[in-house]
Amino acid sequence: MELVGRLLGLLVLLLAGAGLRSVGLLDESRSARLNAVAYYVALPALIFVSTYDQAVGRLLTPALIVGHVGVLLAVAAVAWAIHRGSGQTQRQSVAIVQSYHSNVGYLGFPLVAATFDATVTAIAGVVLGIISIVQVPLTILVLVGVNDAEVPIHHELKQLFTNPVLVSLFAGLAVGSAGLDVPAAAASGLDVVGSLALPLALLCVGASLDVDLPAIDYAATGSVVAMKILVMPALAWAVFSALAVDAATFTASIVMLGTPTAVSTFVFAGELGGDTEFASLNVFLTTLASVASLFLLIALVS
């Protein structure tokens, strides 16, 4: 019942964000400020306090890297095969990207931190780094390649390696690996700030959703939802079972790869020539569907 209540709380916050936007309380400028607090303050704080007392050598294993990179590339390849002949390049590129690009930062990691113990959370932090380093460049390359977008790719990649989420992850792992002490007061303060990451993120996700029902491409959208919510976690389950990883690694990996399509894919689509209306719809539907699918996944791995 506790898990049901937690996931229903996620849905309430998601819908609250959408509702606050619809009545004008979370307009574009306020949403941007709220998003900045979540992205630059709360989420980095949560990542740091979850990793600063962990040694990177114990967390970063070959199986962890091979498993996540393999699942991401496999889903991307299947999505490419499904959508490459669809005709509309703007929609095709977004469908490919949104089939594998997971919301591991805003939803996955905070959800793991709120649900599981410190060991699982620390591994999820490393998973966040692995997935981000792979999926962001891959998304840029797919959108630029399919849409023939003229953008400086090196600029996009530079933003990846200077974003606060990865910086806080690397900082936490460096402190943990060096065995440095963090003052208890500082750790407690960061823990309080980090606890705001999930609710703030859900409000931001809800406020960013924009759905135009008459414009739905049911076949393309249905494929994206199926790939992201069903195929990707099922493949992750098979891969990490075959790799015979420990229980904490298995749990963190399945939940992180079972998250919905990232809101950032909507931003990438706008910058790199994709269909933004299609992207927004898919973010909404995969996020909505993930409330049920994540409940099932968490119940199974627990």
Contact (CB, 8 A) for 221 and 282: yes
Higher pLDDT pick, 81 / 129: 81
* Residue 160 pLDDT: 61
16-45 confidence digits (pLDDT tens): 888 888 888 888 788 778 877 877 888 788
Percentage of residues in the chain with pLDDT exceeding 90?
Answer: 25
The arithmetic mean of pLDDT across residues 43-48, rounded, is 79
Domain spans of the chain, in order of start: 2-301
Confidence of residue 155 (pLDDT cuts 50, 70, 90): low
* Residue 214 pLDDT: 53
Per-residue DSSP letter, 215: G
* Residue 256 pLDDT: 95
* Residue 236 pLDDT: 97
Burial of 194 (0-12, 13-18, 19+ CB in 10 A): buried
Q: Which of 282, 92, 97, 278 is nearest to 205 (CA)?
A: 282
* Residue 226 pLDDT: 96
Per mean pLDDT, which range of 45-59, 115-129, 167-181, 188-202 is the poorest? 45-59
SS3 call for 102: strand
Written out in words, the top-level CATH class of the domain with range 2-301 is: mainly alpha
- In residues, how long is the chain? 302
Residues 146 and 272: their CA atoms lie apart, in Å, by 10
What percent of the residues of the chain are helix, what percent strand, and what percent coil, each to the nearest 5?
Answer: 80, 0, 20
Tokens 């999926």 found at: 135
Confidence of residue 136 (pLDDT cuts 50, 70, 90): confident
* Residue 2 pLDDT: 59
Confidence of residue 151 (pLDDT cuts 50, 70, 90): low
Longest Cα–Cα distance in the chain: 57
Residues 90 and 128: their CA atoms lie apart, in Å, by 28
209-225 confidence digits (pLDDT tens): 666 555 677 888 999 99
Per mean pLDDT, which range of 5-9, 153-157, 175-179, 250-254 is the poorest? 153-157
* Residue 153 pLDDT: 59
* Residue 56 pLDDT: 67
Contact (CB, 8 A) for 245 and 67: yes
* Residue 19 pLDDT: 85
What mean pLDDT value characterizes the chain?
Answer: 82
